[in-house]
Structure 1
């Protein structure tokens, strides 16, 4: 068995290397203009130095194919170890996009009904599961569906340990999941919703979420160095995250999957996933259309805190909305779907302009990575549409109101 794992891992490494060296030297932007690789490199490294970001993985797609794949900087700066396209990185909430995709595969096979209340897939009432005991006495849990979890309209908080209504929430050691608004009525980003969805998927399939993801996504796509838990075949090629003061934050190697946030991957693997998705592979055409169809419009001033009364019309021009596992925009260059990810040591962003066949993926092993995104999006692919204020991707020198 170990020999098989090593063989599969070797195939993944070879595929990563081949893709890395076959990158194009010129990238086409949204407006049809081009940017040479030398300018991409100087732009990325200059901004990295200014923001004090140790390492970044970058992938750019033209015509729905990866044409630029490169890493910059370090996976472990203290040891002088360079980041490469096969280095394992923390995907954070990119996990939710993969979860959304595999849910749509289950919809195609008629295993999952997006609008069937999730409790009907479970062996016990939802409040009898350890993570959801706080729902006792609130029967609204009977209304929550897969569609609501994927579109962040479940009414749950993002993380049960923090007050979702506070700008700087205090840690709550009790961590009780509650429903904060009528399920399906509004948008509020929720990792807890994905935990409920994962529970249903695991009981429905009889498999762990990592096994389900391997079967439906990782293996068919060729993502040999990706998982929701750590696999021995990954070796020790692990990139290390950093906080705002450049201090290291080493992620534990997860043994239990979290559908909304435990995935690890490589920049090469995730670029392969984006290629697969935007080329319409793996799911039916109408299922893909439903995945990136607006389920709920978004008017919140910022994405976090996830439950706020503050609203804005600033993103009306791009019709900011949420689909099933992805955020959505409408732009002069057509439709776009995006997903971000991060914590206090990692920042990742991906956006796909499906009608132009142009995508970009950025994975940074520093919380300071968000400082780069506005400028990199504009300069590398001409994306001035990502709602960077809503995402709180404030560039260097920007003063928050």
Structure 2
């Protein structure tokens, strides 16, 4: 009489164990997951100063600024080195080029518009236009949308696709061999970094909804957060305290006075200002709980070996980093301290990075007006926050990172 229940119980136990073995770690109960590492104590200012000095001496970088956020509050803002070839000092209020950190601030702006009901993440952008996208005349501020006339997939594109870099575009149309805009894969199916996608979303906001993106960012982000030294285009008042840059070979380059608002990367800011933004984002200020969660959570797996070159083949499943994913305007990951997100920014004479860990609401932001500082970024982030798991090998590909000799 008792055998049948025992057999059934044994069968159920076997099935449960088999299912547990087959499930990915993320699907298992939290109790089965590896315990999170304890966040380290943040470095004292003197220790940070010494480590940054070592990094700058080793890499040859002429200027570097650092901000630290703890429990959603800015606790340290430091600037080191020079802002130009004349040797004038880099300061915490010096205006520096944000490069692609612009994308994260743009995404935050879009999420504020989502909260206000102005745009929906999953509604086709085609619904916002008064004519088919390819019928809009060429405008150098945006993309060559007439190139999409033969591809109906443009009608499927949504804000979520473009903020997760899954619209199917190259980074920019002008980087295509024939300089023509094209959709390389079904929107929403895979990740491939694209500034062009962010420009299309800007086009939808400005031409479809009649908004002025520069004004929206001023009113929804910069003014509320007290970002007085930040703007999406060049402002004459920046000239008195402006950072020029240095390239890999040490050539000094004048700061570009950008005259067009570009969602993909026209923002100027200071380390003090971008620290205010990082603190607001990590604590969720200005966004509904749902929008804040949406922005920084894993939305789409990233299967490429590195961020660049774009449109590279996906890695075999066994070689992918399973925690790496696109958020909205940021990259989401999970490391020893738990969930985090990051965004980088780069051009020939600029290197920037922002890394935040949800646990403890901690962030570090690095802005450099010398691209030679980038090899030290992974070490400096770890020096401040400990081992975060931030995907720097994916971010920078084959770059040789600087590690100090102990």
CA spacing shift, 1:109–1:397, aligned 2, 3 Å = closer
Q: TM-score, normalised by structure 1?
A: 0.85
C-alpha distance in structure 1 between counterparts of 2:59 and 2:254, whole Å: 20
Question: 2:237 matched to 1:229?
Answer: no
**2:380 maps to what in 1?**
376
Q: Tell me, yes or no, if the aligned pair for 1:374 and 1:395 is still in contact at 8 Å.
A: no
**1:47 maps to what in 2?**
55
**2:113 maps to what in 1?**
106
**2:94 maps to what in 1?**
87
Counting matched residue pairs gives 359
Q: Tell me, yes or no, if the aligned pair for 1:149 and 1:193 is still in contact at 8 Å.
A: yes
**Offset of 1:383 from its aligned partner?**
3.0
Q: C-alpha offsets along residues 29-58 of structure 1, whole Å, 9 cap, x if unaligned?
A: 963334222121111111111111110110
Question: 2:366 matched to 1:359?
Answer: no
Q: Tell me, yes or no, if the aligned pair for 1:242 and 1:346 is still in contact at 8 Å.
A: yes
What SS class does the counterpart of residue 383 from structure 2 fall into? helix
C-alpha distance in structure 2 between counterparts of 1:47 and 1:30, whole Å: 26
Question: 2:115 matched to 1:75?
Answer: no
**Offset of 1:277 from its aligned partner?**
1.4
**Offset of 1:204 from its aligned partner?**
4.1
**1:10 maps to what in 2?**
none
Q: Tell me, yes or no, if the aligned pair for 2:230 and 2:270 is still in contact at 8 Å.
A: yes
Q: C-alpha offsets along residues 135-159 of structure 1, whole Å, 9 cap, x if unaligned?
A: 1201110010000000000001112
CA spacing shift, 1:352–1:384, aligned 2, 3 Å = closer
**2:269 maps to what in 1?**
265
C-alpha distance in structure 2 between counterparts of 1:37 and 1:30, whole Å: 21
CA spacing shift, 1:372–1:314, aligned 2, 3 Å = farther
C-alpha distance in structure 2 between counterparts of 1:257 and 1:338, whole Å: 23
**Offset of 1:258 from its aligned partner?**
0.4
Q: C-alpha offsets along residues 273-317 of structure 1, whole Å, 9 cap, x if unaligned?
A: 111111211011111111122110112001001111152656636
Question: 2:150 matched to 1:137?
Answer: yes
Q: C-alpha offsets along residues 137-192 of structure 1, whole Å, 9 cap, x if unaligned?
A: 011100100000000000011122224xxxxxxxx4x5211101111110000000
CA spacing shift, 1:225–1:34, aligned 2, 3 Å = closer
Q: Tell me, yes or no, if the aligned pair for 2:248 and 2:371 is still in contact at 8 Å.
A: yes
C-alpha distance in structure 1 between counterparts of 2:201 and 2:326, whole Å: 17
What SS class does the counterpart of residue 127 from structure 1 fall into? helix
C-alpha distance in structure 2 between counterparts of 1:191 and 1:397, whole Å: 28
**Structure of larger gyration radius:** 2
Which ranges in structure 1 are unaligned for 5 or more consecutive residues?
Answer: 1-28, 164-171
Which ranges in structure 2 are unaligned for 5 or more consecutive residues?
Answer: 1-36
**2:25 maps to what in 1?**
none
Match of 2:199 among 186, 195, 198: 195
Q: How does 1:3-42 map to 2 (within 5 A)?
A: 31-42=39-50
What SS class does the counterpart of residue 340 from structure 1 fall into? strand
C-alpha distance in structure 1 between counterparts of 2:135 and 2:60, whole Å: 46
**2:321 maps to what in 1?**
316
What SS class does the counterpart of residue 294 from structure 1 fall into? coil
C-alpha distance in structure 2 between counterparts of 1:284 and 1:185, whole Å: 27
What SS class does the counterpart of residue 329 from structure 1 fall into? strand
**1:303 maps to what in 2?**
307
Q: Tell me, yes or no, if the aligned pair for 1:30 and 1:356 is still in contact at 8 Å.
A: no
C-alpha distance in structure 1 between counterparts of 2:229 and 2:200, whole Å: 26
